[in-house]
Chain A
C-alpha cells in the first residue's frame, strides 16, 4: 500500500469516526435535554423549554417525587418481582438443564423437544387464558401473579442445557463411579462450573422482568401493586394535565438513572447477556 493510499485511508477512518460521533450526540440529545430541564422550575418551563443551560435551577421536581408519589413503592415492587423471578428462573432452569443435558431417563428426548416447542409461543398468545386462570385463582394484584407467568419460559432451560452439555464428561465420571448421588454431583461439581451461564441468564431475566410492561398492565390494576415500569405509564396517561413538564422529566430521570448506572458498571456482562442470549 502506497503512502498516499495509506493517508487517504486514515483520512477516511477519521471522517467516518467524526460522522459516528455526530450521530452519537444526536442519540443522547433527547436524554440530555430531559436531564437538564428536569432541574428547572415548572413555571419557567411553561414559558421556555429552549434554555438548556443557565439559571434558574431547582431540585423541587425531585423533592416532589420523593414527597408525593408512590415511586418508592413501585421501585420496591419492581425489585421484589424481578429478584424473585430471577432466582426462581435460575433454580428451575439449572435443574432442568442438568436433567436434560447430563442424565438419562425414559422419554427424555421427546420431553426436551416438547419443552423447546414453547420457544415459538409469543407472550400475547397466552395472556388472555392466563388472565382468566389467575382471576380464578385470585392471583391478580399479588406478587405471585406478577412473577409466575414468565417462569414458564423455556428459554432458560435451552440455555442451561446447551451449557451443561459443553462441560467435559470426565468431570463427573469419578464421582459417578463412586456412586455419589446425582443431586450431590449436581450441587457440588457441575453447578459451580455453570456460574458464567447463571450470570448471563440472571441478567437477562432481571432486565426482562424489570422492563416488562404487557403482563403487569393486565395483572396489576391497583396502584399499590404497580411495578415501576407500569407506574410510569400510569403517570403518563394524564400527560396533558400532569403536574408540569419538569415533574415528568424528573420522573424519567429518577426511574431511568439507577438502571443506567447499573448498566455502566456491568456493561460487559449486560451486553453479552442481552446479545448472547438472543444469538443462542
Chain B
C-alpha cells in the first residue's frame, strides 16, 4: 500500500545520527542529537488507549480484508446470487492457464524492466548534474520534480494529446522532420514502451531527490583528496561517488520495482490494455476480473499473486537495507 524503507539513519536510529542531518530530515536539532529513545514510565493498560483508535481501524480495514481476500481467492463467488463455494486452489490453476493473465504478468515484468533501469540511471545522472546550490540548479530541480505532483489522469490526458494520431505534438515533430508520424499507443510493439516513457517523465523526480539527498551525505573530504590526486570527472565518479551511493542505488531500484509492479492508471487510461492485450498490467487484470466481470474469487486470486510478488520485493528491500546498515556501521 505504501512504500516505506527502513533505511538506516532515519530519525530515532542513533547509530548513524550525524550522517543523516542533511536536507531531508525535518527534525529539530535537539531531537536529532538525542540518543535516548523512550520515556517509558510505568507499564499501564491505560496507555494502550493511545494506540487503540488506530489499531481498531487497522484491524477492520486492513487485517480483516487481507484475510477475507485470501479466503475469497479459494472460493467461487457468484455476485448476483450471493452464492459461494469453496474450490481450493482452482482459481490459481485457472490463472495459470489464462493467456490474458500470463500476458499481464509478462507485461508487468517487461514494464518493470523498462522503467527501473531508467529511473536509476536518469535519476542518478540528473542528481549528479543538479547537485548545485545556485538558482539554475533549483530551477531545473523544480522542473524535473514538478510533474510528480500531477495526478495520473492529468498526466495521461496530456500524453494522449501529445501522442494523438496526426495532430499530436509527436506527430507534428515527426512531420517537421519529414518522417511519417505514428501514434505509439495504437501499436502493440510501442504501447508498453510509450507507457514506460510517460511513467519515467511523470515521476523521475523521486529517484532524483533520493540520489541528491544521498550525494549530500558524502563527506566533502573524500572529494578534496581526489582533487589533490588530480582525479578526473569519470575517475572520481567511478571510484568515489558510485561506491558511496551503492546502497542508495539498490534502494532506489527496489522502490521502483515495487512501485512499478503496481502499474495501473497509466495503462488503463492510455491504452486500456491494448492493442491486442499488449499493455495490460497485472493490476488492471485484477480490476477487470473483479469489477467488470465480477469474478471476485478469481480476481482475489490474481491479487494474491501480486501480493506474493510484492512481498518478495519488500523482503529484498529489507535485506538490502539491513546489509547496508551493518556495512555503514563497520565503516564508522
**Interchain CA distance A173-B227 in the complex, whole Å:** 50
Q: Can you name the residue of chain B whose Cβ is closest to the Cβ of A249?
A: B161
Chain A nearest Cβ from B324, distance in angstroms? 12
**Interchain CA distance A31-B264 in the complex, whole Å:** 22
Q: Can you name the residue of chain A whose Cβ is closest to the Cβ of B290?
A: A128
**Interchain CA distance A138-B66 in the complex, whole Å:** 20
Chain A nearest Cβ from B159, distance in angstroms? 7
Residues of B within 8 A of A166 (CB): 11-12, 27, 31-32, 34, 37
B190-215 CB contacts (< 8 Å) to partner A: 201, 205-206, 209-210, 213
Assuming the A-B contacts A104-B47, A264-B142, are A127 and B290 also in contact, with contact meaning beta carbons closer than 8 angstroms in the complex?
yes
Q: What 1/0 mask marks residues of chain B from 307 to 332 whose CB sits below 8 Å from any chain A CB?
A: 10011001000000000000000000
Among A31, A199, A232, A280, contact of B7 (Cβ-Cβ < 8 Å): A280
Indicate if the CB atoms of B26 and A276 lie closer than 8 Å.
Answer: yes
Indicate if the CB atoms of B306 and A162 lie closer than 8 Å.
Answer: no
Of the listed residues A128, A213, A267, A271, the one surrounded by the most CB atoms of chain B closer than 10 A to its CB is A128
Indicate if the CB atoms of B65 and A129 lie closer than 8 Å.
Answer: yes
Among B11, B151, B265, contact of A214 (Cβ-Cβ < 8 Å): B265
**Interchain CA distance A162-B201 in the complex, whole Å:** 33
**Interchain CA distance A120-B27 in the complex, whole Å:** 26
Q: Can you name the residue of chain A whose Cβ is closest to the Cβ of B201?
A: A27
Chain A nearest Cβ from B184, distance in angstroms? 14
Indicate if the CB atoms of B157 and A251 lie closer than 8 Å.
Answer: yes
**Interchain CA distance A24-B57 in the complex, whole Å:** 44
Assuming the A-B contacts A120-B314, A169-B39, are A95 and B53 also in contact, with contact meaning beta carbons closer than 8 angstroms in the complex?
yes
Chain A nearest Cβ from B181, distance in angstroms? 11
Indicate if the CB atoms of A232 and B306 lie closer than 8 Å.
Answer: no
**Interchain CA distance A264-B168 in the complex, whole Å:** 28
Q: Which of B92-100, B111-119, B297-305 contacts A (4 or more CB under 8 A)?
A: B297-305
> Does B133 belong to the interface (CB within 8 Å)?
no
Chain B nearest Cβ from A279, distance in angstroms? 5
Chain A nearest Cβ from B254, distance in angstroms? 11
**Interchain CA distance A98-B52 in the complex, whole Å:** 12
Residues of A within 8 A of B37 (CB): 101, 165-166, 169
> Does A131 belong to the interface (CB within 8 Å)?
yes
Assuming the A-B contacts A99-B51, A251-B157, are A197 and B26 also in contact, with contact meaning beta carbons closer than 8 angstroms in the complex?
yes
Among A122, A153, A259, contact of B310 (Cβ-Cβ < 8 Å): A122
Among B28, B54, B152, contact of A92 (Cβ-Cβ < 8 Å): B54
Indicate if the CB atoms of A31 and B306 lie closer than 8 Å.
Answer: no
Among B32, B65, B144, B296, contact of A27 (Cβ-Cβ < 8 Å): B144
Indicate if the CB atoms of A279 and B1 lie closer than 8 Å.
Answer: no
**Interchain CA distance A24-B201 in the complex, whole Å:** 11
Indicate if the CB atoms of A17 and B129 lie closer than 8 Å.
Answer: yes
Among A108, A149, A182, A236, contact of B157 (Cβ-Cβ < 8 Å): A236
**Interchain CA distance A154-B2 in the complex, whole Å:** 9
Residues of A within 8 A of B227 (CB): 1
Chain A nearest Cβ from B125, distance in angstroms? 8
> Does B188 belong to the interface (CB within 8 Å)?
no
**Interchain CA distance A271-B160 in the complex, whole Å:** 27
**Interchain CA distance A249-B126 in the complex, whole Å:** 29
> Does B135 belong to the interface (CB within 8 Å)?
no
**Interchain CA distance A179-B45 in the complex, whole Å:** 16
> Does A86 belong to the interface (CB within 8 Å)?
no
Contact residues of B with A, CB < 8 Å?
A: 1-7, 10-13, 23-28, 30-32, 34, 36-51, 53-55, 57-58, 60-66, 68-69, 72, 126, 129-130, 136, 140, 142-154, 156-162, 164, 167-169, 172, 175-176, 201, 205-206, 209-210, 213, 227, 230, 233, 251, 255, 262, 264-265, 269, 283, 286-287, 290-291, 296, 299-300, 303-304, 306-307, 310-311, 314
A20-B140, A168-B30 given; 11 more Cβ-contact pairs under 8 Å:
A95-B53, A99-B51, A121-B1, A133-B61, A155-B4, A166-B27, A196-B28, A218-B287, A248-B157, A274-B148, A278-B5
